[in-house]
A and B are shown apart, each in its own frame.
Chain A
Amino acid sequence: MKAEDVRVCVIRIEGTNCEDEMANAFTMVGAQAEKVHLKQLIGQAPASMQRSLEDYDVLAFPGGFSAGDYVRAGAIFGARIKSAIGSDVKRFVEAGKPVLGICNGFQILVEMGLLPAIEETMSESPTAALYNNNSGRFECRPTVLRNDNRGKCVFTSEVPQKSLLMIPSAHAEGKLMSMDPDFVQKLEDNDQVVFRYVCPDGSDAEYPWNPNGSPSDIAGICNPAGNVMGMMPHPERVMTRFTHPDWTRGYDSEDGDGKIIFQSVMKYLEKL
């Protein structure tokens, strides 16, 4: 598949607010990205605006405060999409098509049961939670991520293993939780851990470098197949050097650290 043929569905409802950056990020790596309201996918729009999920190659859940973060962050968007087109989404994932969730998008994927999805593609009820940061506050700051994936995740195929990326975080509920004491080990065994927060020198993160208190410093995970990835930090915000916090101080690449994540998924699609 050629890059210009890749169609990306950036899905939104009321309260989503990172859809422009998300669509722009995919456009910058050569894909055709379209911002699509959930109503357009479920037949609640004029005929000319109706869309079908199966016409797209990538599904992207942008950040924001979907439905005002009411009930729990991501819960309402998750429940709405699941009740209307849950089986279409499941088919999309099982076809190996990439699904990305950033920040609120990650929370939605967890609430929908598409992540961590250790036992099945999409669980009936959530098997993990993204809950309030330990600080009890909204944390907005640069974070350093280490790629700890061993090769399964399609969004990090071009990112050298153990390399560091500086990507900003901005969230109030980013602590990944499960009641299973072996949760982190299971993620490790399945190669589902994608990014971990670290200190700038690469050592284990402590607050504030781990902004939320996530166990084992986990910032992003994928499903066992590697085509669904959710992460709290915002790679779509650092596509060029100019939005990098240190860009005037010896940052020598033209690209921002987030771009390689989008380039990775394009590489994966080009091979299909």
Chain B
Amino acid sequence: MAVIEIKIELKKGVADPEGKNTKKTLEALGFEGIGEVKAIKTFVVELDMPEDKAVAAGEEMCRKLLANPVIQNYSVTVR
């Protein structure tokens, strides 16, 4: 049994309106010194297989559904 964590984030250079809006609102709330804010999506998947196979399966999941390669990068780690 393995638990993998799949992170989907926007590629460098792709505008992130969610991150930008969050930054604006945090600043409006009085938080200071904020640089870039990014929104990242995480999936946690339980898999009934050894860890190395689970990571490979997670990567295949990203290619087939979880990430759009045009705008997003993904990373898969064992939790």
Residue positions of A touching B, CB distance < 8 A:
71-72, 75-76, 79, 111, 125-129, 131-136, 177-179, 213
| Apart from A125-B63, A126-B70, 20 more pairs, CB < 8 Å | A71-B66, A72-B68, A76-B65, A125-B69, A126-B68, A126-B69, A129-B68, A129-B71, A131-B14, A132-B15, A132-B17, A132-B18, A133-B17, A134-B15, A135-B17, A177-B70, A177-B71, A178-B70, A179-B70, A179-B71
Minimum-distance CB pairs A-B, first 3 = A136-B17, A136-B21, A129-B70
Tell me the bound Cα distance from A177 to B13 in angstroms.
12
Residue positions of B touching A, CB distance < 8 A:
11, 14-18, 20-21, 63-66, 68-71
Tell me the bound Cα distance from A178 to B16 in angstroms.
15
Q: Which residue of A lies closest to B24 (CB)?
A: A136
Q: List 25 A-B contacts (CB under 8 A).
A: A72-B68, A75-B65, A75-B68, A76-B65, A79-B64, A111-B68, A125-B63, A127-B70, A128-B70, A129-B70, A131-B14, A131-B71, A132-B15, A132-B18, A133-B17, A136-B18, A136-B21, A177-B14, A177-B70, A177-B71, A178-B70, A179-B11, A179-B70, A179-B71, A213-B15
- Which chain A residues lie closer than 8 Å to B65 at the CB level? 71, 75-76, 79
- Which chain A residues lie closer than 8 Å to B64 at the CB level? 79
Tell me the bound Cα distance from A213 to B63 in angstroms.
27
Tell me the bound Cα distance from A75 to B17 in angstroms.
20
Q: Which residue of B lies closest to A212 (CB)?
A: B17
- Which chain B residues lie closer than 8 Å to A72 at the CB level? 68
Tell me the bound Cα distance from A134 to B68 in angstroms.
18
Tell me the bound Cα distance from A179 to B70 in angstroms.
6
- Which chain B residues lie closer than 8 Å to A71 at the CB level? 65-66
- Which chain B residues lie closer than 8 Å to A133 at the CB level? 17
- Which chain B residues lie closer than 8 Å to A126 at the CB level? 68-70
Q: Which residue of A lies closest to B43 (CB)?
A: A71
- Which chain B residues lie closer than 8 Å to A179 at the CB level? 11, 70-71
Q: Which residue of A lies closest to B41 (CB)?
A: A71
Count chain A CB atoms within 10 A of each CB in B11, B21, B65, B70 and give the residue with the most: B70
Tell me the bound Cα distance from A136 to B63 in angstroms.
26
- Which chain A residues lie closer than 8 Å to B21 at the CB level? 136
- Which chain A residues lie closer than 8 Å to B66 at the CB level? 71
Tell me the bound Cα distance from A140 to B21 in angstroms.
19
Tell me the bound Cα distance from A76 to B66 in angstroms.
9
- Which chain B residues lie closer than 8 Å to A213 at the CB level? 15
- Which chain B residues lie closer than 8 Å to A111 at the CB level? 68
- Minimum CB–CB distance from A183 to chain B (whole Å) comes to 10
Q: Which residue of A lies closest to B66 (CB)?
A: A71
- Which chain B residues lie closer than 8 Å to A131 at the CB level? 14, 71
- Which chain B residues lie closer than 8 Å to A79 at the CB level? 64-65
- Which chain B residues lie closer than 8 Å to A128 at the CB level? 70
- Minimum CB–CB distance from B71 to chain A (whole Å) comes to 5
- Which chain B residues lie closer than 8 Å to A177 at the CB level? 14, 70-71
- Minimum CB–CB distance from B8 to chain A (whole Å) comes to 9
Q: Which residue of A lies closest to B15 (CB)?
A: A134
- Minimum CB–CB distance from B77 to chain A (whole Å) comes to 19
Tell me the bound Cα distance from A261 to B65 in angstroms.
32
- Which chain A residues lie closer than 8 Å to B15 at the CB level? 132, 134, 213
